[in-house]
Structure 1
Amino acid sequence: RDGGKGELVFLGSDQPLTDAIAQVCLTWGFPDASIFALKFNEPPGYYVMEVTKKELSGKLVTMCHSPFKVCQEIREKFKYPTTVELGLKDLSEKASDPTFADVFVTTEGGLSELNDLLEKEKLTEKAFAYLLQVWLDITLHSNHISWESLPSSIISKIAGYINNPKGPQQDRLAIRAGLQVLENAVISGIAYSQVIREIP
């Protein structure tokens, strides 16, 4: 628990995770157990799910906000131009977790929000880099999206960024993530002709 004492909780192999979380919330006086989840402390620090519960033996976990709750918090940041970059940064730090990626894709606006940000918002270079990293990680790790879902607008944006280098100050994350997105899109067979056309 952030800023407080840890809690030793025995989680039986047949005990649902929701029961364990409810038990800790009751101990700490948290009224709504539904907005919490468990994450492994060891890297990569993914959320604990029923299917991965067997890996908990002898390991430390952290109780934190659930993927759904975190998605809500991130989407709230997307509503205001001054916090879009922060929201994308937060999302880029969590998108490689398969559980989180699935929740983001299947709730509320899904990936359409990212498309809207790309097409309607004037993103900073850093925000653009975060967005590309998010697209890369979510597409690689979510079970609900494939490279066939990649909008051609993202390919065009990446191509434009690569074709117009800004020198040493060009964001390395944007270049790396952008090239990886293009590579996977080409390998999948959906973007070969567009990439060849837009990147000489």
Structure 2
Amino acid sequence: MPRKPTPDARERILETATRLFNRYGVHAVGMQQIIDECGCGKNLLYSQFAGKDDLVVAYLRRCSADWDDIVAVAQERAGGPEQHLVEVVREVGIRVIEPGMRGCPLRTTFAEFPEREHPAHRVSMDHFVRVRTELRELAKRTAAAEPDRLADRIMVIIDGLYTNGPIFGDDGVKTAVSFAEDLVKAETAG
């Protein structure tokens, strides 16, 4: 009689894949490496994920969900809509300087899968569209005369943090937050 997977099997495999993908990149990690690291059998992995693309999509969706946490934490610290945008930048900054961080996993994977129809490319693209839309919604709550422009500029600061934050650390984060504060102040000045 075949063994049934434990209820946490999918999560254990996804956690292992997340750690390896974050460390080495998606293309550099093979399914056998995930099997070996996780200590699961090949049949178990493939019973939970149809193939590597399926696993990569689950990984990217998990990474995309981190954005919701960033926005929620920023809202808790913010005193108003203008400050909420600044706090989003600050929270991204806190996360990008964590040990082992190599930048935004969605941006990295987007670059690794340039084919528009590839599921990983589509999930990444959907994430960026969602982030831009949410930033624009946040900016519309401010006193900015051109909220879309403010949101797009905040997104550029966030992109810079994902690229340079792991390199410049706390000083880079402080610079990005200061830049966001200056930008929000300039864009919302009456």
Q: TM-score range by the shorter chain?
A: 0.3 to 0.5
More helix by share: 2
Higher relative contact order (CA 8 A, sep 6+): 2
TM-score for the superposition, normalised by structure 2: 0.34
Structure having the larger proportion of residues in strand: 1
